[in-house]
């Protein structure tokens, strides 16, 4: 089967005749590149998995190697020992390879955005998957995956650099997008807005004047530069100072200093949603 570099348009965001919804794309992945997102899922969001009637989690589009799906399983097992992680890939050969790593609680399946596993997952992680689709297809893909979630479930549509130092993700519940998160390694950037090249597909083309995400990135840069004197206490203090300024300026941040000190910040989706 041909492996395409860039996905074609998704004709209909519904499964037709059992065919997986989506397109095979490059399978580039790297061990540990999703650690920042996983830390959020196993931290402030862990209550969702703990409260789940069925502790089913999906890693959608795990790539050429299933390593990051195995990592997700191990990290979430610490939260909920009976978690079941299903890795789903649209490329059958990648599933065949991954099956060697199956174990109780971890399995691999061929499929697409229709999420062809029994039950409704409490978490669906799709990292570096939607970026290879068209912006116009994102809303339909979101709706399809959201329709598969359990009540209280979360769909993560995220993007990161090769080794997971610059990471962003949108979190959606079954009804609506909730938030946009940034997570960066200190020392990997000069200005926070450099993370713009790793924005999820829904936002990456919107970093232009007049769009809310542009205004937010500009506000981050301004607050980061103004917090420069705090750098003598370390970048952790400087990032925390930046977040405090953003909060004081009225940006609806959804987290606080305990997350900021990790190089993370989460803003309400309404504040950055495209016009």
The residues that touch ligand SAM, with contacts defined as CB under 6 A, are: 21-29, 33, 60-63, 68, 88-91, 94, 112-113, 127-129
Q: How far is it, in rounded angstroms, from Cα 2 to Cα 90?
A: 12
The closest of 11, 19, 13 to 116, measured between CA atoms, is 19
Our CA angle for 52, 253, 231, nearest 5°, is 120
> Which DSSP string do the residues of 72-123 spell out, in sequence order?
HHHHHHTT-TT-EEEEEESSHHHHHHHGGG-BTTEEEEE--TT--SSS--SE
Closer residue to ligand SAM in complex, CB, 52/60: 60
Question: Would you state the structure tokens that stand for residue 117, as one six-digit string?
Answer: 């596993």
CB of 126 to ligand SAM, least distance (A): 7
Closer residue to ligand SAM in complex, CB, 91/255: 91
Question: Would you state the structure tokens that stand for residue 81, as one six-digit string?
Answer: 């020992």
CB of 122 to ligand SAM, least distance (A): 19
76 with 83: CB under 8 angstroms? yes
The SS3 assignment for 41 reads: helix
Closer residue to ligand SAM in complex, CB, 149/246: 149
CB of 62 to ligand SAM, least distance (A): 5
CB atoms within 10 A of CB 120: 19
Beta strand pairing call for 154-160 and 166-172: antiparallel
CB of 245 to ligand SAM, least distance (A): 32
CB of 172 to ligand SAM, least distance (A): 16
CB of 246 to ligand SAM, least distance (A): 28
Closer residue to ligand SAM in complex, CB, 39/261: 39
């Amino acid at each position: 089967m041909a492996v395409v570099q860039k996905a074609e348009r998704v004709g209909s965001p519904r499964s037709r005749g059992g065919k997986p919804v989506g397109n095979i794309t490059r399978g580039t992945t790297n061990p540990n590149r999703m650690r920042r997102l996983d830390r959020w899922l196993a931290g402030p969001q862990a209550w969702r998995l703990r409260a789940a009637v069925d502790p089913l989690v999906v890693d959608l589009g795990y790539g050429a190697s299933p390593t990051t799906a195995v990592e997700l399983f191990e990290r979430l097992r610490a939260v909920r020992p009976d978690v079941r992680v299903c890795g789903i890939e649209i490329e059958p050969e990648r599933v065949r390879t991954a099956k060697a790593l199956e174990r109780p609680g971890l399995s691999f399946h061929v499929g697409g955005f229709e999420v062809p596993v029994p039950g409704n997952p409490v978490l669906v992680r799709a990292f570096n998957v939607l970026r290879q689709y068209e912006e116009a297809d994102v809303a339909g893909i979101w709706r399809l995956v959201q329709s598969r979630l359990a009540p209280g479930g979360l769909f993560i549509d995220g993007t990161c650099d090769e080794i997971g130092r610059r990471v962003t993700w949108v979190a959606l519940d079954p009804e609506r997008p909730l938030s946009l998160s940034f997570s960066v390694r200190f020392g990997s950037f000069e200005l926070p807005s450099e993370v713009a090249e790793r924005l999820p597909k829904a936002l990456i083309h919107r970093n232009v004047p007049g769009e809310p995400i542009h205004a937010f990135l500009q506000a981050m840069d301004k607050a980061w530069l103004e917090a420069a004197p705090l750098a003598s206490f370390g970048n952790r203090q400087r990032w925390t100072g930046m977040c405090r300024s953003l909060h004081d300026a009225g940006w609806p941040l959804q987290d606080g200093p305990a997350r900021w000190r990790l190089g993370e910040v989460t803003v309400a989706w309404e504040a950055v949603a495209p016009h």
